[in-house]
Amino acid sequence: MSNTIETQLLVIGGGPGGYIAGIRAGQLGVKTIVVEGVNPGGTCLNIGCIPSKALIHAAEEFAKVASYAAGTSPLGISVQAPALDLAKTVEWKAGIVKKLTGGVSALLKKNGAQLIKGWATIVDGKTVEVAGAGEDGGALRIKCEHLLLATGSDVVELPFLPFGGKVISSTEALSPTALPKHLIVVGGGYIGLELGTAYRKLGCEVTVVEAQDRILPAYDAELTKPVATHLQKAGVKVLTSHSVLGLSDGGALRVRDPDGNELALDADQILVAVGRRPKTDGFNLESLGLDLAGKAIKIDDQCKTSMRNVWAIGDVAGEPMLAHRAMAQGELVAEVVSGKKRHFMPAAIPAVCFTDPEVVVVGLSPDEAKAQGIEIKTSMFPFAANGRAMSLESTDGFVRVVARANDHRILGWQAVGVQVSELSIAFVQSIEMGATLEDIAGTIHPHPTLGEAVQEAALRALGHALHI
C-alpha cells in the first residue's frame, strides 16, 4: 500500500450506516473504502444495541430462575437459588459482539469494499488522512470522488458529573467486572431504563433519577404507564422531577427534589444516561464549513450536505438516532452514488424501547395526529384479552392503532407489552404500504399469537372487535 490511494466512495465510520453503505456500494460496482477507528459495527454492535440486548436477556433469565427459587412462580416450577458468574456472562456477550463484527468485516470484503483501520482526519472535501495506515507506517492519504460521513454519536457527558471513578456511561455498564450493590441511573429515557432494569434483575438496588415529571417523557403517558408499574413491582425506585446537581465531597449524588430541597443519594455506581450527541469533533469536520442543524450535520432527502459530493448519514445527521435509520440511509447513498435515483422518504421509522415491558412507536400517535389537524379513528386492544400473552405470563399492555377517519388509512401504531418489538415489522409495513383498517382486519392472523392484538385493534376501530 502506497501512502496515497484513490477511491470513488470513501466512508468515514464503519457503524451500521457506514458498513451498509460500503456493502451496497461494493455490490453496485462502486470502488469503496471504509475507514473505522476501532471495530466495524460502530456503537450498535460494539457498545450499544447488541450487547445491551444480550445483557437484558441474561438478566431476564437470571430473574426468572430467581423467581422459581423464591417459590413465587404460578407455573409450579421450583429450583435452588441461582448463582451468577458475571465474568462468564460478559464473555458470552462479548462472543456475540465478536462474531457480528467479524461478520461485518467479511461482508465488506466479500462485496469488494476495502476496510482500513485507523482514525481519519479530513484534509478537504475530497481528501482524508489516516494516521499510521501508510505503507511505511506513516499517514495514508485517500483521495475520493464522494465522501460519506458516518461517524455516529457520543454519549452526553454532564459537565457537573464527569465520567470517571463511580460515574460511568453505558459503555462501562455493558461490560461490568462486578455488580454494584446500589446503582443510580441518571436519566429515565430508554437507555437508562433498559440498563437499570437489567441491573435490578441481576440483583442490584436501582434508583432512577429523571428531571421530567415521568419516565420515557418522549412517549405518551398511557403508553409508558405499564413500564412504570413494572419498575415499581420490581423494586426500582424512580425519582421524577428531580434535577441532578453533581457529587458531594463524600461522593454522594446531589439532587434537588420538586420542592427545591437538596438530597444526597449514596450509591456504588452512577450511570449517566441522558442521551447522545452527533460525533462531529476530532476529525477536522469544521474545515469543510458544512451547514449544521443544531449540533448535527444538515442533510437533504438524499443525505447530501451543503458541499457537493459530501454526504452524511446516521447519528451524525441528527434525530432519530436509530441504527435502522442509518442502515437505510447508507443503502440509499450507495445507490445514489452509483447513479440510481433515490430519496430518503420513509413513511415511518419504528422506535423500540427494550424495557420491561417493551414499547414500540411507529408513525403518528393520537395527539400528534390531532396536532396536525387530522380527524382520526383510534382504538386499543389490551393484552389481558390475548391468549398468547396469558400463556407468556404477561398480560400488561396493549396495541393501539391510529387511522384517518375519512378513509381509514393507518397513520400510526403504538404498543406496550411482552415481545412487542417483534410486532414493529407488521406496524411499519402496514404504514409503508398504505394499508387501511379494513386491510388489517381482513387479514387472517395466526392463533395463538400476540399479533392477534394487531387485528383486534383494527377490528375495534371499525366497531366490531371479536374478543373484547
Query: Which residues are the active-site residues?
Result: 447
Q: Which three cell numbers stand for residue 162?
A: 464527569
User: Closest Cα to residue 383, out of 428, 410, 435, 419?
Assistant: 419
CB 122 within 8 A of CB 287: yes
The secondary structure of 103-134 as a DSSP string is: HHHHHHHHTT-EEEES-EEEEETTEEEETT-S
Distance CA 401, CA 366 (A): 9
User: Closest Cα to residue 30, out of 338, 318, 261, 323?
Assistant: 338
Helix or strand holding residue 324 (H, E): helix 323-337
Contacts of 98 (CB under 8 A, 6+ apart): none
Distance CA 254, CA 245 (A): 5
Residue with cell 387485528: 455
Distance CA 357, CA 231 (A): 10
CB 408 within 8 A of CB 377: yes
HSE at residue 111, side-chain half, CA atoms within 13 A, is 23
